[in-house]
Amino acid sequence: MMSAPSVKQLPPPPVDRREVLRYAGHTGAGVEEPLALLLEECIKETLPRLRYRVVWQELPLPLSGFDPTERMAMEARLSGCRSVVMFAATVGVEMDRLITRYSRLRPAKAELLDALGSERIEALCDAFCEALAAEKKGEGLLIAPRFSPGYGKLPLTAQRELIALLDASRKIGLTLNESLLMSPTKSVTAIVGIYEESV
């Protein structure tokens, strides 16, 4: 069941404008025209520059090769699963460059770009998990909700092992600094349990 890490490039998911505004802190029902126009400007400028890439690998359970504390935290979340898919996803470095550029020139636009980047990476993860769910359903299997290092009892340090395991630096250009911050910043590492459908 152990497979080598594979890279998948997905088509751009549709932009959820309401979700972008939520990330930016705008939770009201109405959106003022200047903000709506700025959002459209951000979308038009950003979308052609993004690359929606995922590197993933399916592993059997129980896991091996992880720090014991990290392995126990993962397996506690994977109870009842027969295997696990680990993945790293990114929308690329261009989003970071745009945010940095506009943080000096137009801070309001930079804030909206940051929110758009957050929506884009979450949409990419959702699209990958939907494709994985469809594939596994054909095998009579289901997927559990994804979870990431830094949530619950799984320490953020697990990102080091996930990125190394997936060879994410070479395959999709995703790196981790000493403070455990990812670059590009609009990136995610996550774990998805695979389990058998109840009869």
pLDDT at 1: 52
Any domain includes 26:
yes
pLDDT of 82 strictly over 60: yes
- Tell me the pLDDT of the chain averaged across its residues: 93
pLDDT at 2: 62
CATH number at residue 26: 3.40.109.40
Q: pLDDT tens digits for 59-75?
A: 999 888 788 889 899 99
What are the C-alpha distances in Å from 124 to residues 58, 66, 87, 118? 18, 26, 12, 10
Over residues 115-125, mean pLDDT: 98
pLDDT of 24 strictly over 80: yes
Per-residue 3-state assignment (H helix, E strand, C coil) for the chain: CCCCCEEEECCCCCCCHHHHHHHCCCCCCCCCHHHHHHHHHHHHHHHHHCCCEEEEEEEECCCCCCCHHHHHHHHHHCCCCCEEEEEEEECCCHHHHHHHHHHHHCHHHHHHHHHHHHHHHHHHHHHHHHHHHHHHHCCCEEECCCECCCCCCCCCCHHHHHHHHHCHHHHHCCEECCCCCEECCCEEEEEEEEEECCC
In degrees, to the nearest 5, what angle opens at C-alpha 97 toward C-alphas 93 and 101? 170
| Token couple for 58 | 């399916």
Q: Are 116 and 20 in contact (CB under 8 A)?
A: yes
Any domain includes 50:
yes
Domain of residue 188: give its range. Answer: 6-196
pLDDT of 119 strictly over 60: yes
Total number of domains constituting the chain: 1
Any domain includes 1:
no
Any domain includes 160:
yes
pLDDT at 124: 98
- The residues that bridge with 143 in the sheet, in sequence order, are 194
Over residues 186-190, mean pLDDT: 98
pLDDT at 199: 46
Any domain includes 33:
yes
Over residues 124-147, mean pLDDT: 96
- The residues that bridge with 34 in the sheet, in sequence order, are none
What are the C-alpha distances in Å from 87 to residues 14, 53, 64, 123, 129? 21, 10, 17, 14, 10
